[in-house]
Amino acid sequence: MNDEVEQEYPMRYRTIYLPMAEAMAGMTLAAPLDVNRHGQLRFSLPRGHVLTEDNLSQMAANHAEFIFIVEPDGRSEEQVAIDTAQVAHRIMEIFSGANLSDPALLALFDQILTYRNA
C-alpha cells in the first residue's frame, strides 16, 4: 500500500483481553505484563512486546492468566458502528436499574463501557 492510501485509510487497531490458552506467538502486548506470586514480581514484559514461544512458556510456568493485546481491526466502519451500538445497548440493559447519578456507579458504568468498546 502506498503512503497516500495509508494516510487516507489508516489502520485501526483494537485491544483485547485474552486468556493465556488463546495467546499465540506474534501477538503484541497492549499493556505491560507483570506476573506476581506471593507479592513478588516473577515475570515481566513491556507494552509493545511481541510474544515469542519462549515468552509463552515462561508465562505458563509463572501462571499468567490473562494478557491484553493489540491487533489490527479489520472491521468496516459500519460493523464498528453496529458493534458499538450493541455493546452500549447491552450495558444500558445491565445498568437499567442503577442510579447513575451516584458518582461511583457512573464511574463504573463509564469504565465498563470504555472497556467493552475497546
Report the pLDDT value the prediction gives residue 118, as an integer from 0 to 100. 62
Q: Which residues contact 24 (CB under 8 A, 6 or more apart)?
A: 51, 56
Report the pLDDT value the prediction gives residue 2, as an integer from 0 to 100. 38
Q: Block means of pLDDT (10 residues each) for the chain, length 118 residues?
A: 44 87 95 91 94 96 92 89 92 93 92 79
Report the pLDDT value the prediction gives residue 111, as an integer from 0 to 100. 87
Cα angle 27-70-51, degrees, rounded to a multiple of 5: 20
Q: Is the pTM of this model over 0.85?
A: no
Report the pLDDT value the prediction gives residue 92, as an integer from 0 to 100. 92
Identify whether the C-beta of residue 52 lies closer than 8 Å to the C-beta of residue 25. yes
Helix (H, G, I), strand (E, B) or coil at 71: strand
